[in-house]
A and B are shown apart, each in its own frame.
Chain A
Amino acid sequence: MSYTAPPLLAGDAFELARRVSLALDTELAATERPEDRMVCLSRHWQEVTALGWAATLVPEEAGGVGGALADLAALADGAGRAAFALPLASSFAVVPCLLRAAGARGEAALAALAAGTMHIVPLLPPVAPGADAPHLEAGRLEGSLAGIEAPPAPTHLLIPCEDALVLVPAEAGGITLTPFQRIDGRLTFDVSLHLPVTEEMVLGRGPAVPEAVARARDLGALLTCVEAVSAMAAIVEQTITYLLDRKQFGTTLSTFQALRHRVAEMYLATMNLRALITPMLREDADPSWQDIAFAKLRLGEAGRLVAHGTIQLHGGMGQTEGMPAIRLARRVLMAEFEYGDRSWHASRLLAAREAEMAHA
């Protein structure tokens, strides 16, 4: 028996998310035209909304499930088994995390999120914001951001601007959304904002907002690690299956030591990252930003090793979009750029150490 990747968080949530993700990936792989892909994504988005994924981290008093991080992580674990082309961390973790910073004024939006009537795009500021990052200026919201991950047909944009949290309807005048697609097939928008802001659009102000942004980014990074490590395990499994099946030079590729050793390296990288993440998902865990930064840093290196490995080991087939493992590889490669890349996480770890030493 060859290797079967075990779930990180076994259970119904994992199984369900895996099925949903596989169905979406299979359908999307056979769908070429952008407008058809959009229809496909929208249908599956409706499905996961109906399944209540958006309500997972919404508190019960706001009509949500009041679930723990591990509940959403189990969905990310399942979804990670195929190149799930819908926003999971950003829509279902980052959005509720930001909205909760607004206290009572965020509750209506939280309820609408849980009910599936609002489809919210969070505009987390970039880790190194440029001069044109969204900002409030004399009663106006000005600025632009590129490559914002989004669900199909978003209804609202949730924009932290320094210490203010702003929620605006997506169709409001002065908002331009230019759609793109990421390397892993997910939708993004380039957003430009030039509009007046009314007080009712400002859900909250104060230090709670930047704190929530930092927390949301860490949460997003951790869930990205979960999705990615799940994808990496699936890649290892599928690569082995391919090598056991594919014949060249009169024998199966799985007999060649050079190829077997590369798989062993991919497996080690996957298991190492998995070990790093597992304790952070325990019920009593309270991972620090440093824990998450180290995991995300590790993902950058381990993820690439696994993605490059599977592309190489699939040979010519590895250059095509046709193989599920290769679509997974693109998902893992994309994960590096979500919620801070490895250079950023390393830099902030380094800066903290330096500050500590200066203090000592």
Chain B
Amino acid sequence: MNHLSSETFDDNARSALADVQLRGALRNATSLFGKRRLAAAASLQNWEELRSQARSIKDEVLLHLDQYLEQFVANAESRGAKFHWARNAAEANQIICKLIADRGGKKIVKSKSMTTEETHLNVALEAAGMEVVETDLGEYIIQLADETPSHIIVPAIHKTKRQISELFTSELGIPPTDDVDKLTATARATLRDRFAQADVGISGVNFGIAETGTILIVENEGNIRLTTSLPRTHIAVMGIEKVLPRFSDVDVFLKLLPRSGTGQRLTTYQSFITGVKQDEAAEGPNELHVVLLDNGRSRMLAHPITRQSLACIRCGACLNACPVYQQIGGHAYGSVYPGPIGAVITPQLVGLEKTAQLPYASSLCGACREVCPVKIDIPRLLLHLRGEITEAAVNKRRWEQLAFKLWALVMSRARVYRVSAKLGGILQRLLVRDGKIGKLNKSGWLAPPLLAWTSGRDLRPIESKTFRDKWQSELKQRD
């Protein structure tokens, strides 16, 4: 199990950067996704309007989340759905294991749900002696490889065809092949039996519609439809923030989500499930259980800057646009949710202490904000979290804190600033060669940032005549 931790993010990132195959895979995938998203967004003249509309709907829901949740639950319950509230991951897993055990369920099929990744549901199910198979192709591949997903939309984005073929050969016994259709057909054939025999289907939920009590789930493969219509019992796991107010709101989100996620106008299938069947003899499950998960989400409501985290519709566009994610991929973050959105929700869900590196793993370029369909201002969130981290002093950077205190002292007094610039200009003579500061070795220990900079870049030295000097001596006279 590649259980990388976010505490070792810097090491994780270094390993990822050394993985040539991974970097190639990421480069191809993210640039392709980027092009497709751009083309799909450009195909709608009112794209910007739609983003604003979606954000305002989300703001409306979040500001009245308790009311919309209650409405959603009441309407779904009136149609036969049963609800279970989980305060945290462990409780969610307990509820689900008990639901299945009480029904004598043994064979479980599961469709892709990041929320169940968050709770590590499969680990709990297996510990309870239950057999669970992931049916989304990417998730199936990950499950066979005993790994975790590295992208919100394309879980096996980090794997090449060759690697997948090798995996299928060792786990499923098929001959090696480069043919994607053959690999896909193998997965289809292997999973058909599992679908046919499953007594429980577990899915996620993309949106819960309060007005009608409907859960909406979107996909391309058909495994969600099979998971949610074949087995007797359907368990749907949903984060509490996934509510939308009205049935008609689906229009905006179905325009934004597929285009942002994969560049499609619509994913192949949308399943709108409202309660359970009225007629015993009809198709579909006999029971629908919806598990509502908090796990730290309600806390995020306490400030407008953090509340917007909950607007996320899990499209993955920010991952594809992020220059950091493009280089290191998802596993390096050591968190369930990677990339820009992961860097902001993980510290909030899990706590600042173990995740303090993540909000700093960004150049604040803002590409994520540009592509987010619900206009989450991720850079602003990152800065907010950085402020929280330094204030809580969890990042264990005593020297850095002292350095910035000193910096503030110098920068708030012009004369001290000028003197320190002169001082710097003198001290640097130890390091400057041929008009620049090149790669440092021993001398670098004096200032780790200097060592870090010069590992790959030359550095311009402080000039002997600064701008101020030139203003005084040449430019000012002309005034």
A and B physically associate: no
